[in-house]
């Protein structure tokens, strides 16, 4: 067991910086309310080092607190579809030739009302992103990028049409949990059609964690800093795993 | 204006000639066409408003019915039938709207006396244009009363709660903190709706529905806080999309002061059909011009998908094109808020100098234009402290090059739509930086053979080469081949093509005629 | 009862920004540890939006949390020697003439090893601070500013010598609670000499709150943004109050 | 160097003449005097080290004993008796130190043969100066090996945990993040101790004791991380205070690379007696010069108590004086890290331009000097976001004017001594800003009649008037009358006057003689 606390300038001093707004006017009372609030989060000491009015009814606070709580670092299980097992593009293609023996078909889109295609393009387009080529460039893959604002229904139709192995869903806008509603609808639609087992379902986007994706019924989720090779590695391994079952 | 970049005047003139050449065939196409939303906008100007029980707006009920009645009907313009019904039924505009909302068939009354229709229409045109002129006069008066109270550049803040009443709270707080311009961001994907929702709304995603009632509510709120702050607070909304002219009409009626309006945004970034967009943007811009509304163009969008350093010239080329399309719609330079953005990779060596160069170049090529300068977005990350530093330099460049309209960058750009405190921190930063370097623009020169000067010359030359290519290929084909923003749009693809209307020989639109006359656009 | 929660962009959404360092390497496991830690402070949701390495053994996190806790704003008691009752310089002098009838004597210093004189100077020197004249300028007061790094013993001696009404103690350095030790020593010394009741004891400094000062045995404490008139108003009122007892 | 400010050369020359005139009588005074710490520093160079059971250092034991023995003893220099004891007792330096620590009375052995003492001393001088020269050579070699790997300006970070072992962790992390210079801040009030503590220490307030062992520990740690990072990491400590020469000596022996050393800091900001300080600074600076150590002067301190806009000229005047005192101690321009700071009220209109002007002026007047530029501190507040913006502009000005040594500003300056993350954010910000405007210095000119240029001329003129006044009044009286930093210091007031020593006719100090010779300071 390795107990870990935040660090300011001395081991275990527990120092944390916070800032937030309160719906109260700025002033001594507001600052005291801010301080109490920080203490209510289990901080031992709290200093409100700055306050300023945002309007007559709102005020802004900067505070430093000293955390009492700690966590057992050894018990923490990293939950990100991490890139440790990632193969390079060439390795993926070789893997496909060796273990699958046919082209792997992938369909992707930015679904619902979401029009943020840069993320899915980063994964799929020829040119890729940050010196990682996209799936379209993989000789052993067939990649179809349907672009922006694709309804779930249409995406599934297309995946059936091209007999896809995997469907890639990108969701960037998360305000009011719109991504959760949309991602859930996608899985429900698949299930209603009895197609969930047919496809490997991959979700992605800057605020999508693996945990969330799995909770919503996807096989995996990729967040910030994901590259095509991470996704490709996951998909081809999963295909082989599915075959073996 | 003293030049710091020494751009050759003849090259700049040549670029403008290229823009004229490129836009000429498009303008010819536009002149022969209308669209469902142009017609609806015309109806709205005449007074058509309200919605039926299913929420279908009256202008849509009218135009959809006319369209269903056969293509030759709409070719004459929707206004003809609407005014015909007014005359024939002998009701007021409000009464007619009510009837239509309740199911009245606009085709029922047979087409009556043209003279009576003409007279009635003139009355409507007078009433409506008087209202728009009043708005314009009111704005001028207030801006005169509160002159020199706004920041320079104007500080522009967005609100985007999805709920107009929450938006009002946030907008007022922002104005109290120092915002000069409030933009109500539209709900996700409203640009793809081929109608404008009706009434006050409280449910949007990533933004609030643009409706005439929402415009009115926000306008009233900003007027109120403006009186307190002794500052005229400008209100902005988004026109580009499938309802450009209608939103322009609503804005003119409710005294909006700025409008996002790009001649190609819908095509490239929303996959709206190109013919439809070109037609729509023209009519919407005539309305803006008439109402004294500044348009903000969307060059920044090029840089969210393409590299800002490599493709800097596409921004300049687009500015020339937006300017030319603007001129053709009667917009004078002072209403042309051409866009650009601080979007280079922060790790580029000398990136600051390239941004400075780009901004200064825009300033010198478009000297009277209230340039709209957008903050870093693409390279913002969860590192809010780095983001704040990027915004600080952005604020710096904006003041250092005397921009007109300054969109405030949010330190949480990559995280969430702005919190109230994010906005405060943004204003505070901009005010600090800009006050602290108030005289920088007049104090600084660039070395003649230096990086800043050289870069501007390079970008101008690249933009010219690019425009030569477009002029050769033709505008429509250029878009089809993906010359703009690395996006290919087929001529007959995209949304809204079915809403395009060929004007018939008897096309009736006295509003359009009025604008053409008053804006001096007659050939 | 008025329940108040942090405000991001919607009433009661509870949004709070945090940043801190953990003594663990950067990576997926560190991010998960950071997230868990934030949750352990009673936040409902937490998104770690940024992490970066500070060294091989330390890493930095930026997070946004959604607080569940709230506080009853009505029950909050502002605890700052606040400036509501503050008189202007002229009013203070008039008050002294009316109610005390002799010059009020004040001795101040920056004590212990602390050499930050700007704060005590702001209160005492002629020219004052931010358009508030200092105590030396008050015709009805005699103000002695002993400057920096004055030992507690010496300050008390001096106060006795000039028969002071009030002693002003400034403490700016707070690292390792050095201010607490020093301020405590001062009061203990006074008490040992049986002099505590003789003087009004005023503490001040950017990290000194009224609450802390009172806890340590002072009559009052002034923090950031205090001015001479605040201090003078407090002192003269207190003299009259003491007389009446 | 191309001038951007067009400062008249004759006025700058005149200012330097004034500095010479002002410092001449002070220099005469210095030449006739030594001090307890000058003597202790000499002993340290000869090898005196260690401490007794109460922690009193051996050099103090020696000097205190000699002082107690009568004033005529110290007038001959402490080294004489120390070496006499070495010779007479026939022990090594280490053994003698041991003996002294255990109570051996240095006055016990009668003064022996001068020739033997002279010879023994020469041996000690050779040994010790060889070590210092080796250090210098090692530094040169490493800086050559890792050339162009440091940032420009050098990024300077402080550590201040109070515990040398924690300091090491933080310093290594800082170096990995990009620091080029690590300064170990001294514990609060060490400057008022008339001795230098011995050994590794773990208890300090707001800083760590400067001890020779702590120097050694940190030097080793930085060398280690420097090898990993392929960058020579410079180590800094603080000389000014009651032990200036001793700390300089320790730094020379342990290969420090920079040293805070101001000719008047102790007088003005620590109330140390003026005569004592002037004497101490001279000897300490000769040691620095000999060891190739850059001194950092403390002009920034003027601005923490006085207004940075109003009193900007005092900074320039002090730079001229520090330079002149530096020259007199054998320091060449490239070892003169003259100080200044970005300390203007952030709410001043055009404050950025005034800061830019001040920094550029320092650059042009002191072209070869590795100027030390200090961040905003006084106007930093608990608003860390505002503070970050101020630091961003500070970083900007530093790069824009090509400063030499850049102290990183902390966003939490007004809150606490730096957290590890604060330091990271500071480096990250500086690297971003400076890379992004790498070529700015060469690219930008100032308008001849603009704010920046005008301001520099004004400040130069004010500095000259001020120095004329000081030259008229005389240095000692000027300090007494409060002309510097608005602080009055009586000539016979302040700490440490009792430690001043009048050199006797037979004053013996071959180290001093060696430095004078090697630095070319003989009259
Ligand atoms: C560029 C951009 C736009 C462009 C999009 C252009 C385009 N063609 O994509 C334009 C200007 C059109 C735009 C518009 C809007 N935007 Co926008 N936009 C951004 C911006 C600046 C950058 C996004 C981006 O391109 N990132 C770069 C890519 C490479 O990163 P990524 O998307 O995270 O992708 C990576 C990973 O997440 C992952 N990934 C992503 N998808 C997938 C899918 C799979 C299967 C896998 C495996 C991996 C994966 O891999 C990628 C590479 O590592 C962000 C702010 C920011 N800096 O993040 C705001 C942002 C995303 N936008 C936002 C909003 C609200 C909007 C609007 C809704 C605003 C409005 N009301 O008009 C509109 C509407 C768009 C719509 N209908 O969806 C908000 C979202 C807030 C939220 N969390 O809900 C943001 C965060 C800005 C903000 N702070 O308000 N936007
Ligand atoms: C200026 C300054 C210095 C100057 C001081 C010059 C001088 N003659 O005062 C110099 C350069 C000498 C200095 C040195 C050091 N400093 Co210093 N310094 C500052 C700085 C930048 C500003 C302080 C200031 O002048 N504020 C302006 C005044 C007006 O504000 P104020 O003190 O808060 O006073 C107001 C109120 O608090 C109140 N008040 C204050 N005292 C009193 C008393 C009474 C009776 C009342 C009623 C009210 C009152 O009224 C005032 C007006 O509103 C701060 C950082 C910052 N921005 O705050 C660091 C800071 C205070 N210094 C710090 C440190 C650590 C040091 C050193 C110890 C560093 C070192 N190891 O060498 C040294 C040692 C000094 C010593 N022995 O005490 C730390 C303290 C950290 C901590 N909380 O423990 C700070 C916060 C910087 C940092 N982040 O590290 N410093
Ligand atoms: C010119 C222009 N119009 C409209 C918009 C917004 O439109 P939408 O509602 O399609 O996001 C933008 C957004 O960046 C724009 O730049
Ligand atoms: C020139 C100089 N010397 C020394 C110091 C630090 O000395 P002290 O230990 O007295 O704080 C400073 C601090 O700012 C300084 O500027």
Which pLDDT band, with edges at 50, 70 and 90, does A244 fall under? Answer: confident
B337 beta partners: B296
The answer to whether residues C134 and C205 belong to one domain is yes
For residue C83, the model assigns a pLDDT of 60
The set of chains that have 3 or more CB pairs under 8 A with C is A, B, D
Domain count, chain C: 2
For residue C82, the model assigns a pLDDT of 60
In a domain, C145, yes or no: yes
Which domain-ending residue is among A45, A72, A99? A72
Angle, nearest 10°, between helix axes B244-253 and B114-145?
Answer: 60
For residue B84, the model assigns a pLDDT of 98
Q: Nearest-CA neighbor of B412 among B439, B452, B447, B385?
A: B385
* Averaged pLDDT score across all residues of chain C: 93
Which domain-ending residue is among A15, A44, A72? A72
Q: Nearest-CA neighbor of D39 among D79, D70, D94, D80?
A: D79
**Of the candidates D384, D418, D419, which has its C-beta nearest A62's C-beta?**
D384
**Of the candidates C54, C56, C149, which has its C-beta nearest D189's C-beta?**
C149
Res. A85: pLDDT tops 80: no
Q: Where are the domains of chain D?
A: 375-439
Pairing status of strand A104-110 against strand A166-170: parallel
Nearest CA to ligand 4 atom 15: D298
* Averaged pLDDT score across all residues of chain A: 93
For residue A84, the model assigns a pLDDT of 65
Which pLDDT band, with edges at 50, 70 and 90, does B62 fall under? Answer: very high
Question: What share of chain A has pLDDT > 90, as a percent?
Answer: 78
The answer to whether residues C59 and C94 belong to one domain is no
Task: Name the closest residue on chain A to residue B305, using Cα atoms.
Answer: A118
Res. D206: pLDDT tops 90: no
Look at the alpha carbons of D68, D69, D72, D73 in this order and tell me if their dihedral is positive or negative: negative
CA distance B350 to B356: 10
Which ligand has its closest atom nearest to the C-alpha of B248?
Answer: 3
The answer to whether residues A135 and A228 belong to one domain is yes
Query: Which residues of A are less than 8 Å from D415 in CB distance?
Result: 47, 49, 64
The answer to whether residues A236 and A123 belong to one domain is yes
Identify the active-site residue in C29, C36, C44, C127: C127
Q: What sections of chain A are H helices per DSSP? A: 28-40, 89-99, 117-124, 152-161, 178-192, 210-215, 228-244
The answer to whether residues A98 and A66 belong to one domain is no
For residue A126, the model assigns a pLDDT of 83
String of DSSP letters for chain C: --EE---SSSTT--EEEEEEEESS-SSHHHHHHHHHHHHHTTEEEEEEEEEEESSSS-EEEEEEEEE---EEGGG----S--GGGPPPHHHHHHHHHHHT-S-EEEEEEEBTT----HHHHHHHSTT-BTTB--GGG-TTEEEEE--SSB-HHHHHHHHHHTT-SEEEEE----GGGHHHHHHHHHHHHHHHTT-GGGSEEEEE-TT--HHHHHHTT-SEEE-TT--HHHHHHHHHHHHHHHHH-
For residue C101, the model assigns a pLDDT of 95
Q: Whole-prediction pTM value?
A: 0.94
Residue positions of D annotated with a catalytic role: 265, 300, 372
Res. B306: pLDDT tops 90: no
CA of B317 to the centre of ligand 3 (A): 19
Query: Which residues of B are less than 8 Å from A115 in CB distance?
Result: 188-189, 269-270
CA of A174 to the centre of ligand 1 (A): 10
**Of the candidates C7, C62, C64, which has its C-beta nearest B420's C-beta?**
C7
Task: Name the closest residue on chain C to residue B384, using Cα atoms.
Answer: C62
Find the CATH number of the domain harbouring A215: 3.40.50.280
The model's pLDDT over D477-505, given as tens digits with 9 standing for 90+, comes to 999 999 998 888 999 999 999 999 999 99
For residue D523, the model assigns a pLDDT of 62
Res. A82: pLDDT tops 70: no
For residue D239, the model assigns a pLDDT of 96
Phi and psi, residue A104, nearest 5°: -90, 130
Res. A83: pLDDT tops 70: no
- Asked, as a colleague might, if the bond just before D153 is cis with ω within 30 of 0, I would say yes
Res. C22: pLDDT tops 90: yes
Identify the active-site residue in A29, A36, A127, A211: A127
D199 Rama class: left (phi>0) / alpha (psi -120 to 50) / beta: left
Res. C81: pLDDT tops 90: no
Q: Nearest-CA neighbor of A125 among A7, A239, A228?
A: A228
B277 lines ligand 3 (CB under 6 A): no
Res. B287: pLDDT tops 80: yes
Query: Which residues of C are less than 8 Å from A76 in CB distance?
Result: 29, 32-33, 36
The model's pLDDT over D128-183, given as tens digits with 9 standing for 90+, comes to 999 999 999 999 999 999 999 999 999 999 998 889 999 999 999 999 999 999 99
CA distance B490 to D95: 93
The answer to whether residues A43 and A107 belong to one domain is no
Contact A197, A230 (CB under 8 A): no
The model's pLDDT over D51-74, given as tens digits with 9 standing for 90+, comes to 999 999 999 999 999 999 998 999
Query: Which residues of D are less than 8 Å from A17 in CB distance?
Result: 384
**B249: closest CA of chain A, how far (Å):** 26
Nearest CA to ligand 4 atom 6: D238
**Of the candidates A55, A118, A173, which has its C-beta nearest B172's C-beta?**
A55
Which pLDDT band, with edges at 50, 70 and 90, does D522 fall under? Answer: confident
Q: How far does Cα B310 stand from its chain's mean position?
A: 26
The set of protein residues with a Cβ atom below 6 angstroms from ligand 2 is C 108, 113-120, 122-123, 129, 168-170, 172-175, 202, 204-207, 222-226, 231; D 160, 185-186, 188-189, 206-207, 269, 301, 304-305, 377-378, 380, 413-414, 416-417
The model's pLDDT over A202-241, given as tens digits with 9 standing for 90+, comes to 999 999 989 899 999 999 999 988 999 999 999 999 999 9
* Averaged pLDDT score across all residues of chain D: 96
Any idea which residue has 């004010």 for tokens? Answer: D462
The answer to whether residues A139 and A51 belong to one domain is no
D474 vs C79 pLDDT, higher one: D474
Confirm or reject contact between C7 and chain B (CB < 8 A).
yes
The answer to whether residues C165 and C214 belong to one domain is yes
Mutate to test the pocket of ligand 1, among B267, B304, B413 (most ligand atoms within 8 A of CB): B304
The answer to whether residues C133 and C234 belong to one domain is yes
The answer to whether residues A68 and A142 belong to one domain is no
For residue D417, the model assigns a pLDDT of 86
For residue A81, the model assigns a pLDDT of 66
Q: Nearest-CA neighbor of B339 among B393, B286, B420, B398?
A: B398
Res. B338: pLDDT tops 80: yes
In a domain, C205, yes or no: yes
The set of chains that have 3 or more CB pairs under 8 A with B is A, C, D
The 3-state DSSP class for residue A170 equals strand
Average pLDDT value for residue range C44-69: 94
Any idea which residue has 């005097």 for tokens? Answer: D33
- Residue B186 CA, closest ligand 1 atom number: 71
What interface predicted TM-score (ipTM) does this complex get? Answer: 0.93
Average pLDDT value for residue range C92-104: 96
Average pLDDT value for residue range B469-489: 94
**Of the candidates A54, A148, A224, which has its C-beta nearest B173's C-beta?**
A54
Mutate to test the pocket of ligand 3, among B158, B284, B285, B298 (most ligand atoms within 8 A of CB): B298
Any idea what DSSP says for residue A87?
Answer: P
Query: Which residues of D are less than 8 Å from A46 in CB distance?
Result: none
C127 vs B97 pLDDT, higher one: B97
CA of B240 to the centre of ligand 3 (A): 6
CA distance A15 to A38: 12
Please confirm, yes or no, whether B290 is among the known catalytic residues: no
CA distance B411 to D411: 15
In a domain, A79, yes or no: no
Query: Which residues of A are less than 8 Å from B304 in CB distance?
Result: 118
Res. B284: pLDDT tops 80: yes
The answer to whether residues A30 and A126 belong to one domain is no
- Expressed as residue numbers, the domain containing C173 is 89-243
CA of A108 to the centre of ligand 4 (A): 62
The answer to whether residues C98 and C207 belong to one domain is yes
Average pLDDT value for residue range D266-281: 95
Average pLDDT value for residue range D416-432: 95
D266 lines ligand 4 (CB under 6 A): no
In a domain, A77, yes or no: no
Question: What share of chain B has pLDDT > 90, as a percent?
Answer: 94
CA distance B482 to D390: 44
The set of chains that have 3 or more CB pairs under 8 A with A is B, C, D
CA of B367 to the centre of ligand 2 (A): 49
CA distance C241 to C218: 16
The model's pLDDT over B99-152, given as tens digits with 9 standing for 90+, comes to 999 999 999 999 999 999 999 999 999 999 999 999 999 999 999 999 999 999
D234 beta partners: D181
Res. D350: pLDDT tops 70: yes
For residue B36, the model assigns a pLDDT of 98
Find the CATH number of the domain harbouring C42: 3.30.30.60
Measured in Å, how far apart are chain D's first and last C-alpha atoms? 33
């Amino acid at each position: 067991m390795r107990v870990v606390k935040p660090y300011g300038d001395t081991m275990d001093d527990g120092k944390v910086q916070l800032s937030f707004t309160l719906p109260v006017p700025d002033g001594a009372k507001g600052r005291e309310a801010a301080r109490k609030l920080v203490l209510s989060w289990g901080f031992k000491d709290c200093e409100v080092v700055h306050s300023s009015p945002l309007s007559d009814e709102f005020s802004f606070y900067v505070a430093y607190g000293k955390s009492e709580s700690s966590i057992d670092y050894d018990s923490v299980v990293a939950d990100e579809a991490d890139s440790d097992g990632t193969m390079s593009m060439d390795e993926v293609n070789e893997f496909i030739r060796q273990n699958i023996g046919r082209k792997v078909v992938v369909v992707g889109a930015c679904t619902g009302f979401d029009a943020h295609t840069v993320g899915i393009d980063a994964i799929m387009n020829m040119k890729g992103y940050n010196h990682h080529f996209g799936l379209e460039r993989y000789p052993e893959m067939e990649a179809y990028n349907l672009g922006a604002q694709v309804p779930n229904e249409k995406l599934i139709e297309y995946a059936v049409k091209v007999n896809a192995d995997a469907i890639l869903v990108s969701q960037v806008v998360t305000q009011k949990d719109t991504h959760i509603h949309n991602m859930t609808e996608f899985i429900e639609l698949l299930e209603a059609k009895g197609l969930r087992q047919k496809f490997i379902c991959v979700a992605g986007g800057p605020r999508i964690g693996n945990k969330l994706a799995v909770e919503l019924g996807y096989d995996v989720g990729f967040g910030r800093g994901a590259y095509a090779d991470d996704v490709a590695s996951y998909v081809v391994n999963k295909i082989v795993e599915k075959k073996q079952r | 204006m003293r030049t710091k970049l020494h751009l050759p005047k003849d090259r700049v003139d040549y670029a403008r000639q290229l823009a004229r050449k490129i836009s000429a065939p498009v303008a010819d196409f536009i002149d022969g066409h209308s669209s469902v939303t142009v017609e609806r906008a015309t109806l709205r100007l005449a007074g058509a408003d309200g919605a039926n029980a299913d929420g279908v707006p009256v202008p849509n009920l009218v135009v959809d019915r006319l369209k269903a009645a056969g293509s030759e009907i709409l070719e004459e313009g929707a206004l003809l039938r609407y005014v015909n019904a007014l005359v024939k039924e002998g009701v007021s505009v409000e009464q007619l709207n009510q009837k239509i909302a309740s199911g009245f068939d606009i085709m029922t009354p047979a087409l009556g006396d043209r003279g009576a229709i003409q007279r009635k229409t003139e009355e409507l045109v007078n009433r409506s244009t008087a209202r728009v002129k009043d708005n314009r006069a009111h704005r001028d008066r207030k801006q005169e009363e509160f002159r020199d109270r706004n920041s320079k550049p104007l500080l522009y803040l967005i609100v985007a709660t999805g709920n107009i009443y929450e938006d009002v709270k946030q907008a007022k707080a922002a104005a109290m903190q120092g915002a000069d311009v409030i933009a109500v961001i539209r709900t996700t994907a409203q640009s793809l709706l081929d109608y404008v929702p009706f009434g006050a709304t409280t449910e949007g995603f990533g933004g609030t529905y643009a409706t005439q009632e929402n415009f009115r509510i926000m306008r009233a709120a900003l007027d109120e806080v403006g009186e307190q702050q002794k500052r005229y607070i400008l209100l902005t909304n988004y026109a580009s999309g499938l309802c450009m002219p209608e939103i322009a009409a609503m804005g003119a009626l409710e005294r909006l002061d700025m409008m996002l309006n790009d001649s190609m945004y819908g095509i490239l970034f929303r996959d709206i059909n190109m013919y439809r967009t070109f037609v729509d943007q023209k009519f919407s811009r005539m309305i803006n011009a008439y109402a004294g509304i500044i348009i903000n163009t969307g060059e920044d969008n090029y840089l969210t998908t393409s590299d800002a350093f490599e493709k800097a010239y596409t921004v300049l080329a687009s500015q020339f094109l937006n300017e030319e399309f603007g001129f053709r719609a009667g917009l004078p330079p002072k209403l042309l808020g051409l866009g650009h953005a601080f979007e280079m990779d922060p790790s580029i060596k000398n990136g600051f100098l390239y941004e400075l160069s780009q901004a200064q170049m825009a300033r010198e090529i478009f000297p009277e234009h209230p340039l709209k300068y957008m903050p870093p977005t693409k390279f913002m990350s969860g590192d809010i402290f780095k983001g704040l530093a990027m915004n600080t330099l952005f604020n710096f460049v904006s003041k250092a090059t005397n921009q007109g309209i300054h969109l405030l960058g949010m330190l949480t750009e990559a995280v969430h739509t702005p919190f109230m405190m994010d906005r405060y921190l943004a204003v505070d930063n901009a005010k600090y930086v800009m006050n602290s370097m108030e005289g920088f623009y007049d104090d600084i020169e660039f070395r003649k053979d230096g990086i800043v000067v050289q870069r501007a010359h390079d970008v101008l030359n690249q933009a010219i080469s690019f425009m030569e290519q477009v002029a050769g290929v033709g505008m429509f084909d250029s878009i089809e081949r993906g010359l703009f923003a690395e996006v290919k749009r087929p001529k007959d693809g995209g949304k809204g093509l079915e809403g395009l209307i060929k004007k018939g020989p008897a096309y009736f639109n006295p509003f359009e005629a009025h604008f053409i006359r008053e804006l001096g656009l007659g050939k």
